[in-house]
Structure formats: structure tokens, C-alpha cells
Amino acid sequence: MTPLVLVHGFMGGSAQWDAQTKALADHCATIALDLPGFGRNAHLPAIPTIGGFAEWVIAELQRRDVGRFNLLGHSMGGMIVQEIAARIPDRIERLILYATGAVGVLPGRFETIAQSKTRASAEGAQATARRIAASWFLHGTASPAYEGCATIAEQAGLDAVLAGLDAMEAWSGEDALARLNCDTLLIWGDRDRTYRWPQIEKLWQTIPQTSLSVFPNCAHAVHLENPLMFNDVLLNYIRS
């Protein structure tokens, strides 16, 4: 089966996908990346643009000799994979846009990007990682998956945190949506505090070939809050 490439979001890392790589192991190869500045690549200089992250992913897949693939992006990673799909559409079989949108300023977010920058500079990377990671879960720090997620987020330094926020704030993919011509699945938790419904609806109504899966009573990290259902939806989609 065609391999699945997983691109994490802001302050994420490849380790967040452990439940998915295990669940899909008997069905397809998975390639979970760590973006520069984050996760296991926290030692690398972060990239301050979504397009720059996209070029890094394309180059990394080329280095690994990955040809045609399915592509999933979560949150900021969803912005990155939209850029990848616009640049190398012939290499992508299916696209999964998960808890993401086409406007990087994130209208309706729990706080503005500018506020996140100010607070990160004042409070430091570690405190920012733990505070923002809590917003990804319906029950915040009480979520069973919170601590592991926060630990991954803490690997990012302040330079990477600010670079990621800069990258999102400066990006818009709205003009490219109608040209994304691969089959696309949208995944969203109906209690997401980061990407509100209008962002999801924009993707759903504008990308030519889309289907939509909404998870009830889940926030931004559906794959950690309801991994069994998430994995079933993902596997059924890539096998269909």
C-alpha cells in the first residue's frame, strides 16, 4: 500500500503519532517526520515560513527516496501539506487535512498569534509549551494524553516557537484551495479551540474533492483524545 507521511503541527513531533504508526503497521508504511526546531529535530534551526517547511519536507522525502505517498498534516502541518500538494501534486495519492485551515492568522483562536508571541517571549518556551498544549484537549491538563504531548512540545526552544508563530501568521493558502486536485479528507474535532468551524467549512466548500469527518466532543488533538475512532477513519480512507 502507498506509504503515509505524517506532518505534525506547531510544537509537535513524530512521537505524537505512535498510536497511528502502530495501528497502521500491518496495512501501510508510515513516515512520521520531525520538522526543524521541533521534536527529535529540535537541534535544527527552525524555519520561519510555511513554504520553507514545505520545501524541507519535500527534500527530506526525496532524501529517503519516497516516491508517491499519502499525506497527512495536523494544524500547522496542515498548512505545510497544502503547500506541498500545490507544489508536487503528481506525487500525492490522498491528502488528509486534520484540524487545520487556509488562513494562518487563525481567526477565533483561543488567543491571537500576536498574543502568543508576546506571552512566549515573556514566559519562555517551556511554560508556553505546557500552556498551549493544554488548549489542544477538551479537558486540558486533566486529559490522559496531555503530559506526553506537553513533554514533546517542551523540546522546542523559544526561537522555534517564535519562528512557528511567524510562519503561521504570514501564511494564507486560500488562493490555492481550488487548485488542490487530489482526493482530500478533512478531520476536525467539534470542540477545537484553535481552528473554528469557518476555517474547516472553507476547506470543505472550496477544495474540489473533499469528504469531512467531524469528531464529537474532541478538541484539537483528536488522534490522542479518540485514537481508536481516528485510526479507523484514517485507515478506511487510505484503503478505500
Query: How do the domains of the chain map onto residue ranges?
Result: 4-239
Q: Would you say 222 and 230 are in contact if contact means Cβ atoms under 8 Å apart?
A: yes
Q: Would you say 181 and 145 are in contact if contact means Cβ atoms under 8 Å apart?
A: no
pLDDT higher than 90, residue 240: no
Region 101-108: what's the mean pLDDT? 96
pLDDT at residue 1, rounded to an integer: 80
CA distances from 152 to 15, 20, 149, 198, 222 (A): 7, 16, 5, 29, 17
Question: Residue 71: CA atoms inside 13 Å, Cβ hemisphere, count?
Answer: 29
In the CATH hierarchy, which fold is given to the domain comprising 4-239? Rossmann fold (3.40.50)
Helices and strands in the chain: count of H runs, count of E runs:
10, 6
Kindly report the average pLDDT of the chain as a whole number.
97
pLDDT higher than 90, residue 90: yes
pLDDT at residue 84, rounded to an integer: 98
**pLDDT tens-digit profile of 35-77?**
999 999 999 999 999 999 999 999 999 999 999 999 999 999 9
Q: Would you say 191 and 176 are in contact if contact means Cβ atoms under 8 Å apart?
A: no
pLDDT at residue 92, rounded to an integer: 97
3-state SS class at 6: strand
Region 25-42: what's the mean pLDDT? 96
pLDDT higher than 90, residue 142: yes
CA distances from 110 to 123, 128, 198, 219 (A): 17, 14, 15, 12
pLDDT higher than 90, residue 237: yes
pLDDT higher than 90, residue 221: yes
Residue 57: is it exposed, middle or buried by C-beta count within 10 angstroms (0-12/13-18/19+)? buried
